[in-house]
Amino acid sequence: MDKVFLMIILSLSLVTCKNKTEQTDYPSVDLWKNPTLTADERVKDLLSRMTLEEKISQMTNHSTAIERLGIPEYDWWNECLHGVARAGKATVFPQAIGLAATFDEDLIFRVASAISDEARAKYNAAQKKGNTKRYMGLTFWTPNINIFRDPRWGRGQETYGEDPFLTSTIGIAFVKGLQGNDPRYLKTAACAKHYVVHSGPEAIRHEFNAEAPLKDFYETYLPAFEDLVKKADVEAVMCAYNRTYKLPCCGSGFLLKELLRDNWGFDGHIVSDCGALNDFYDGHNVVENAAEAAAMALKAGVNVDCGRVYPSLKEAVEKNLVTEAEIDMQLSYLLRTRFRLGMFDPPELVPFTLISEDVVRSDENISLSREAAVKSIVMLKNNGALPLKKDLNDIQIVGVHGNDAQVLYGNYHGLSENAVTVVEGIMSKIGPGTKADFRQGTLLAREKDNPIDWTSDAAATADAVIAVMGISNLIEGEEGASIASAHKGDRMDIKLPGNQVKFLKSLRSRGDAPIILVVTGGSPISLVEVEDIADAILFVWYPGEQGGNAVADIIFGDANPSGRLPVTFPKGIEQLPDYENYSMEGRTYRYMQEEPEFAFGFGLSYTTFEYFDLILNSENITPNEILKIEVSVKNTGKRAGEEVVQLYLTDLEASARTPMYALKGMKRVHLDAGEAKTISFELVESDFALVTENGEKITEPGSFRITIGAASPSPSCVKKGSAIPVSKEFTLK
């Protein structure tokens, strides 16, 4: 009887404990583990339990475990520029510059949402295995929102191009897709990088002082960072390697405190670029040693050091360079991010723990990658050669990248078990009665060792030649990644490599078959020497794992090209200012006086469009009024297509230097053959503001011009086949 009574009491106790758990009645002794408290309350409690050494151990990218508190190790370093990167299997989307070429913020949001789904699925799987290695976390150092100010920069491929508005628009959509919309938890933590004036040269980035005129600093280099903080609530910001206004970006209180936190209200965490704090004494020579570098960065506001300098914070405390209270303040931002990611909460409370591993490279995500690749491809020329018929008798595929899977990826990428090359994409389209062959014919950037040329002879009798040329990540990229670059990833010549030009001339000299030139690359390539040789030119960037299928979709007309250039293609470096000069004068479509080879926003279609009936709600407005704009667009061709409608503003009476044109709106619209639609835009006072030479943002009365069309208002666009834009002037009182 006593045993029975004891069993009843034990059962009742277990039920009581279970009910307490369900009611989330957490013991007060471990407040930081209580998910019903605010993140700030939990951070405060956790900090109170940590020793100085333990606090410091959490402030490098590889945060070690604190076993006595039950805190697992965590590496903050992860990447997802165009898919979860460096962590194995993942859907590979087009490189960032290709995503920008879609001019499609809705698509970018869907891509980023798919990436964050895969990120959570891979994290969940890694957690089950106890895998806490680098690139397996939830803090992604993406997106790169630096302005692609000069085509010589090897990392321009990681950006969204040269325009502040486009960069902000695409960046905001990407951050929102990565971080999700749960009211309590982040799906992943996004990071705006590299803050702030940072876009080459790669070879001297660890010692270079990038001083932009104040006007350009506030007008061009800062806006995307401010927008991602204020409009997307980005969780992290990465400070750059270089100095700006003489101080290292990661040691500048002006950048990290005054602008970022005080003026913009940023409440996330700040991470250094990897090794940037070492540069304080190894490159910039602003301090003597690691302890002084750690103190400088901490006081400026850096929360996590990607590197090995912050362990010297212990020495900095001992030397009274910093206090433990200052360490507490900066560590609190990091801990808050981990709480927002749900890392210390029961899995059942965090909705993203339910994301299945099946989402990784799902059919839906692979299809989305193909859609993004198709929309990113820019047709630069077409004399009627495209689209090709699928029943041609003889198709010859040539060129260094025709069957190269590596060129699909760009940098900072994941891996696919089924990346589709251009050859494979084309083969999926043609029937068994069509003769087709692939011969590379040329090397990437040097002459062949064997001078015999059988490739040109084979192409001479073909019905069509598809030449897949361009550059790759071997030539352009980050400082140490581009192993074929003589300039640490940068290019000092933006022409197509000379051996490829020679090969294309040989192809043309041997026969009259139409040459379809497919160009890969992540930055502008001058095609002046071959533009007349090719019958059609497609610029395909680094198009992701479905790149070959997307190229074939365009070539054979199963898709209508609709990509637009997010960066100007100059005719050559003679049209560019000095590479180390960070002034925007003479740069990008906004300030470049000379006519480029291909202008910003340019891209052709298999159909034609007409713009008409541009209407403003008023031609005289006050600063507090909304300017409402309508324009009609008609598909005047014989097949359906998507048009990227672009709105540009010109200040006609500015008291300071202003852009010749400034993109202020863009919308993708699908139009069937013969269909017309009315597109609406709105502009507000901030759109009319100018930045003075001393960096002050003001709104002043005067005349303005609205121009709406298929590309920037460069005369070269209409000459090369863009629709004629429409424009109208108005007055701001």
Catalytic residue check, 553: no
What is the C-alpha separation between 35 and 550, in angstroms, rounded?
Answer: 46
30 is catalytic: no
Nearest alpha carbon to residue 193 among 106, 263, 89, 96:
96
d(CA 614, CA 630): 6
Those residues with Cβ within 8 angstroms of residue 180's Cβ, 6 or more apart along the chain or in another chain: 113, 116, 186, 187, 188, 352
Chain-centroid distance, C-alpha 36: 36
Enter the tokens of residue 34.
């209580």
Q: Which DSSP helix (H) or strand (E) runs through 117?
A: helix 105-129
- Residue 25 CB coordination number (10 Å): 11
Task: Name the residue among 142, 120, 158, 134 with its Cα closest to residue 77.
Answer: 134
- Measured N-to-C along each axis, helices 164-179 and 105-129 cross at an angle, to the nearest 10 degrees, of 40
What is the C-alpha separation between 152 and 228, in angstroms, rounded?
Answer: 26
DSSP assignment of 421-433 equals -HHHHHHTTS-TT
Residue located via tokens 């059988």: 454
Nearest to 575 by CA among 599, 598, 593: 593
d(CA 660, CA 650): 6
Residues ≥6 apart with Cβ < 8 Å to 659: 590, 591, 650
In whole angstroms, give the CA distance from residue 535 to residue 382.
6
| Secondary structure (DSSP) of 20-80 | HHHTT---GGGGGG-TTS-HHHHHHHHHHT--HHHHHHTSBSEEPPBGGGTBPPEE-----
Residue type, 177: G
Residues 87, 75 contacting (CB under 8 angstroms): no
Structure tokens at 115: 């990436």
Active-site residue among 104, 150, 162, 273? 273
H or E segment at 650? strand 641-651
Q: Do 277 and 297 touch, CB atoms closer than 8 A? A: yes
Geometric angle at alpha carbon 624, from 618 and 629, rounded to 5°: 35
DSSP string, 577-638: --TT----TT-HHHH--S--SB-TT--B-SS-EEEEEEEES-SEE-TTS-EEEEEEEEE-SS
Residue 253 vs residues 165, 249, 386, 546: alpha-carbon distances, Å: 27, 9, 55, 44
- The single residue of 202, 235, 371, 476 carrying the catalytic annotation is 476
Taking the C-alpha atoms of residue 99 and residue 159, their distance in angstroms, rounded to an integer, is 9
Whole-number Cα distances in Å, 46 to 34, 50, 66, 232, 329: 11, 7, 12, 28, 13
User: In sequence order, what are the beta bridge partners of 730?
Assistant: 704
Side chain identity, residue 60? T
Neighbours of 617 (CB within 10 A): 13
The Cα–Cα gap between 246 and 491 comes to 26
Annotated catalytic residues are 273, 476
